[in-house]
Amino acid sequence: MMPGLGKSLIIVGLLIALVGVLLTIAGKIPWIGRLPGDIFIKRENFTFYFPLATSIIISVILSLILWLFRK
């Protein structure tokens, strides 16, 4: 039980660190949030932004990383 918990805590810690690094360098990567497939609607008093393509790419990358850790 304890080795499994330790491994889970390490994975969660690495994911939190990865998110922190991504948030730090996100402004330096110009294509994050501006991919084809990201929905951006701007009107007079209304702005709607849904990063669909960016979310899918991040999900695929995280799924691959987790798959590698479980293997």
The string of pLDDT tens digits covering residues 44-55 is 999 999 999 988
- Kindly list the domain boundaries of the chain, sorted by start residue: 2-70
Question: Could you read off the pLDDT of 16-32 as tens digits, one per residue?
Answer: 998 888 778 877 777 77
Instruction: Provide the 8-state DSSP code for 26.
Output: G
The answer to whether the pTM exceeds 0.85 is no
Q: How many Cβ atoms sit within 10 Å of the Cβ of residue 51?
A: 17
Q: 52-70 and 2-25 are packed helices; what angle lies between their axes, rounded to 10 degrees? A: 150
Phi first, then psi: what are they for 60, rounded to 5°? -65, -45
Q: For residue 24, which amino acid is it?
A: T
Contact 11, 69 (CB under 8 A): yes
Tell which residue, 28, 63, 35, 62, has the closest CA to residue 49: 35
